[in-house]
Amino acid sequence: MVNTKVTLCGVELDNPIIPASGTFGYGREFAELYDINCLGSFSFKGTTLEPRLGNPTPRIAETAAGMLNSVGLQNPGVDAVIEKELPKLRQVFHKPVMANISGFSVAEYAEVARRLEDQPGIGWLEVNISCPNVHGGGMSFGADPAMAAQVTKAVRQVTKRPILMKLSPNVTDIAAIARACQEAGADGVSLINTLLAMRIDLKRRRPVLANGTGGLSGPAVKPVAVRMIYQVYEAVSIPIVGMGGVQNAEDVLELMLAGATAVEVGAANLADPFASKKIVEELPRAMEKYGVEHLSELIGGAH
């Protein structure tokens, strides 16, 4: 009998499968389709201090082996999440959930984290540092080790929960940014976020997305994710939540061999709402196929 349990920042998961933020809402829609408690956890929709309508449409586009999105962090704001979404979530999900938070200034990140601190059922804060720094010329917080560290320290000061810094792949040296986050007090890192990309409409001769560029996700990005997870694993001693193009249980094993402790499933949920459930069910068979008895023993096994 194989053992699929892993431990992420001191919290034990029945399995490492975590639907990624932005692809699973706040859980309720998927709970109408199946018992989402079969999952290890899930990362809820990226939440900001104030409500956001998101970017203009069109903001989704298909591409070969993936998709582009420029949703723009559409969400009701942290107060509405606390008041409306979390009570409903607790009715259908009985495990620790991952709270994905975003901000456009260091103070915003800290304030969102502070407001979530007393909410039951949150196991980790996943801090998305791919947002533009509105007070720093628009450069993403995750593009510079010093800025990434600044956000990490600010969030660390207002929460006792484990902090996972979600890193952008649109950088020269992702390992340096991961190290900066670890030194600033992060308990783990999540990677990779989407790759900056674009499509152009041949008839209109204009970008397909209203925002011009968007984030590429799906199978096309998996080799990039594997490479970056591998590099970060060698650079830090904190756990990694890996993601990027995961479609099946064998993809999960590959990311874990690269160094991931847990694995998020993103775009696959948009193509098939049962994708994460199917991967959970496939996992024991894949483990048996490759002679893996305890899944946790696989972490970083390719190094």
Point out the residues that are catalytic: 131
3-state secondary structure the chain: CCECCEEECCEEECCCEEECCCCCCCCHHHHCCCCHHHCCCCECCCECCCCECCCCCCCEEEECCEEEECCCCCECCHHHHHHHHHHHHHHHCCCCEEEEECCCCHHHHHHHHHHHCCCCCEEEEEEECCCECCCCCCCEHHHCHHHHHHHHHHHHCCCCCCEEEECCCCCCCHHHHHHHHHHCCCCEEEECCCEEECCEECCCCEECCCCCCEEEECHHHHHHHHHHHHHHHHHCCCCEEEECCCCCHHHHHHHHHHCCCEEEECHHHHHCCCHHHHHHHHHHHHHHHCCCCEHHHHCCCCC
Rg, C-alpha atoms of the chain? 18
- What phi-psi label fits residue 185: left (phi over 0), alpha (psi between -120 and 50 degrees) or beta? left
Of 45, 1, 17, 2, the closest CA to residue 260 belongs to 17
